[in-house]
Chain A
Amino acid sequence: TPTCEPETPLCCRRDHYVDFQDLGWRDWILQPEGYQLNFCSGQCPPHLAGSPGIAASFHSAVFSLLKANNPWPLGTSCCVPTARRPLSLLYLDRDGNVVKTDVPDMVVEACGCS
């Protein structure tokens, strides 16, 4: 997935690093110090619909050309996460216990057009 540049209108991944210090949560989240809060944004014109959003194969390039030349776009397509990974957190709960847990699907790694 291309990372969004200011002028990128097409579907891309917008990266934001959140430092837990900025949230004032360093007193209870022990590890890590922050995490990537990425999200997907951008347009999905018809010929990009259904594209995986990563290096497409020759087949999907041809498929996209066929769709682009199809005068009747099949409904709208949205820019959505296509790959996510868990985030491992070490934190203190309200009783002072240390809890280590993996929160699934926390970090968006790739975006694509639905």
Chain B
Amino acid sequence: QGAESVCPSCGGPTLEPQAERALVLELAKQQILEGLQLTSRPRITHPPPQAALTRALRRLQQGSVAPENGEEVISFATITDSSTSTCSSMLTFHLPTPRSYHLYHARLWLHVLPTLPGTLSLRIFRWGPRRKRRGSRVLLAEHQMTTPGWHALTLPSSGLRAEEPGVLKLRLDCRPLEGNSTAARQPRWLLDTTGEQRPFLELKTRPNEPGAGRARRR
């Protein structure tokens, strides 16, 4: 508390620089948590590998325009059931708690290994909770891939409703198309579903305000 100096706003004594700095840092924390609608800073239990993070961000920066007032989310898959077949897997995503936002863009990024024998046909299902015996599944998209490397597969945003709060399961069913029968018989991993090239979802949302589009056009 500086004896001689006076606060120009309220006329009270000013703060020592260290005290003012500590107050500013506390204010910054409050302001950011409020802005992100969080009650406390997130404790990250499973941070994605740095290499996977860097690669995903680099892919998104190419030509992606941040939605006005909206959000962009990258969600990395955890593999819950890599079945014995060459590339069918169950991918589980823990999505952020949905705020009053409208999902309008969804892409699944997959890395196809160089072992790809010719053309690969891939079907993507949304996997629901078990009803009766088998899990219920909804076909979201079907793609054919002929080259190894990264593929961004567009998904219908309307179909990506998370069953349990925040948990989305996608089932990948794929098979090499005929034509290269010798290769098709040799079961080899075709999709990279772990490590630094694990699949990730790219989602874009915008606020749900009614008529937001009209307001913007006006």
Contacts and interface: CB of A to CB of B under 8 A. Distances in A.
Chains A and B bind each other: yes
Interface stretch (A51-59, A62-70, A97-105): A97-105
Contacts of A83: none
B25 A99 contact: no
A52 B24 CA distance: 25
A104 B42 contact: no
Contacts of A79: 9
A60 interface: no
Interface string B35-51: 11000011111111000
Contacts of A100: 66, 71-73
Contacts, number: 108
B57 A98 contact: yes
A90 B96 CA distance: 14
Contact of B48 (A8, A16, A96, A99): A96
A18 to B, nearest CB: 4
The CB with the most chain A CB atoms within 10 A, among B35, B45, B68, B96, is that of: B35
Interface in A8-37: 8-10, 16, 18, 22-23, 25, 27-30, 35, 37
B8 A43 contact: yes
A38 B5 CA distance: 21
A87 B31 CA distance: 11
B9 A41 contact: yes
A90 B47 CA distance: 14
Interface residues of B, number: 38
B95 interface: yes
Interface in A93-114: 93-104, 106
Interface in B1-29: 5, 7-9, 24-25, 27-29
B74 interface: yes
A9 B8 contact: yes
Nearest to A37: B28
Contact of B24 (A16, A94, A96): A16
Given A18-B25, A41-B8, A94-B42, A103 B56 contact: no
A54 B50 CA distance: 45
The 5 A-B pairs with the shortest beta carbon distances in the complex, nearest first, are A103-B35, A95-B94, A94-B42, A98-B74, A100-B72
30 contacts: A4-B8, A10-B8, A16-B24, A18-B28, A25-B29, A27-B44, A37-B27, A37-B28, A37-B31, A41-B8, A42-B8, A43-B8, A89-B32, A89-B35, A89-B36, A90-B57, A92-B42, A94-B42, A94-B45, A95-B45, A95-B75, A96-B47, A97-B73, A97-B75, A97-B95, A98-B74, A99-B96, A101-B70, A102-B66, A106-B31
Interface of B: 5, 7-9, 24-25, 27-29, 31-32, 35-36, 41-48, 53, 56-57, 66, 68-76, 94-96, 166
Interface of A: 4, 6, 8-10, 16, 18, 22-23, 25, 27-30, 35, 37, 39, 41-43, 79, 87-104, 106
